[in-house]
Amino acid sequence: MATSVADRQVRISKIAGRYLVFDIDDVAYIRRHHGICAVFTGTMPQNPTQNVFLGLPIELYAEEARLLVDKKVGYIADDANDHLSRLKSLDEPSRKAYLQSLKTQRKNAQLVIDEARAQSQAKHKSKRKDKAPKLEPSESTSTKEDDTGLFDATPAKPAQVVVAKQALPAVTPTSTGQLISKGDGAAIQVPKSYPLYAYLNKRGYFITPGLRFGGDYSVYPGDPFRYHAHFMANSYGWDEQIPMLDIVTSGRLGTSVKKSFLMGAQQPVDDDNGDAAGDSRVRVFCIEWAGM
């Protein structure tokens, strides 16, 4: 919650075709302000074998990612694709800037390491003092000389440490950083039910995948922590013929789980009516079984 709500940009990492959010603050933000709760997919560190309650990251499905990007509160970070293509197409100054940024990153890492080392040394020192005051002086001098040791804080192998002397630590960047392109939402392939999703989301409904109820979405009137789903939503084409059996199935199922079956469709754009806000062209209907 460091950044203010207004200018928060949610980083949606696209990894292997899935849209993931790793930052817990982002997760809380989109849940609170955009009605997107998505699905937790990670394991819990405390209990990695159980599979009922999952942890970070959350996986957004395409509609949610698209919605966030369309609302300009998030961007897609597709590192794997972007990295090479961006690096190749860089011009000289930005290339230098990028290298410089890498260098600062390494320096920062060095600082952190140094700090950590100093702390552990101090600890060691105090310990050794208590235990064996004889050995202490020689050890401390050697470590003081090569204070640029790689990642190991313990001075167990003095020879190696000497080799790595003066070199900044090698850093493997996990991301292309600010080089990354903030792709537009059009790149996200959304299913045909996206207009219905956007329509419902705009009206404050929380939406989770509805596969287990045999629909596209299950629709909650508020946060799913507080409510049961009220609707089981299915999206159809505007002129699509809906099989009777589907209506029976959905109506029956919806009623037996105490939801009402909602179906919606978006009217296709007419030539004369070039209305960009697709939301207004969505119509939804509810079906309830009255006799059960």
Partner 1 sequence: MSLSGEAAGEHKLPSNGSVVIQPAASAKPRANQSPSSRKSDTIPPYKMYALPAPIRTFPLPSFYPNNPLSLFHLVYAWLSQTFFPPPAEPSVVHEGTWDPDTRSVHIKDAKSIRALWQQGFFGKGSLSRSEPNWLKREISRRGDAERGVVAEQRTDARREERRMAKWERAKNELEAIERVKHEEAQSKETTAEELANGHVESPEPPSAQIDDVIEMDLPCPDLSLTEAPPLQSRSAIADDIPNGHLETRKPPVGPLELLALPNSLADLSSETKPSLPESQPPAVNGITNGSIEGPKPPVGPLELLALPNSLPFCPQPTAADDTTESPKTPVSPLEPLSLPTSLTDLTAGSSLTQEEPELSPTDHVLDGHANGVYGILNGTCSASTPLSSAQGSTKKPQTNGQVAQPLKRRKGVRFSPEVESTTFQHTDPPSPNRSPPTATLSQGTVAERSATEAKPSTAGDTLPSSLDISVVFGELVNKEHFQLSPEEAFFLVFSLGALKIVDPVTKATIPTEQLLALFRSHSYFPARTADGSLTAGLQPHDPFLVHFAVYHHFRSLGWVPRHGIKFGVDWLLYQRGPVFDHAEFGLMVVPSFSDARWSEYEHEKAKRSWSWLMGVNRVLSHVLKGLVLVYVDVPPPPVFDEAMASGGIADALRKYTIREVMVRRWSSNRNR
Retrieve residue 149's tokens. 């040791």
Question: Does 259 qualify as catalytic in the annotation?
Answer: yes
Catalytic residue among 72, 107, 129, 228: 228
Beta pairing, strands 282-287 & 260-266: antiparallel
H or E segment and range at residue 42: strand 39-42
Retrieve residue 171's tokens. 């850093």
Residue 110 interacts with partner 1 (CB under 8 A): yes or no: no
Based on CB atoms, which residue is closest to partner 1, 94 or 256?
256
Based on CB atoms, which residue is closest to partner 1, 62 or 102?
62
The CB density around residue 277, as the number of other CB atoms within 10 Å, is 8
Question: Does 220 qualify as catalytic in the annotation?
Answer: yes
**The one among 256, 269, 280, 283 contacting partner 1 by CB under 8 A:** 256
Cα(175)–Cα(82) distance, rounded to whole angstroms? 10
Q: Which stretch binds partner 1 (CB under 8 A): 71-79, 121-129, 179-187, 242-250?
A: 242-250
Residue 54 interacts with partner 1 (CB under 8 A): yes or no: no
Cα(219)–Cα(230) distance, rounded to whole angstroms? 6
Residue ranges in 187-226 that form contacts with partner 1 under rule CB under 8 A:
210-216
Number of residues binding to partner 1, judged by CB under 8 A: 21
Q: Is the dihedral of CA 149, 150, 154, 159 positive or negative?
A: negative
- Which residues are designated catalytic? 220, 228, 259
Q: Can you give the binding site for partner 1, defined by CB under 8 A?
A: 51-52, 210-216, 234, 244-246, 248-250, 252-253, 256, 288, 290
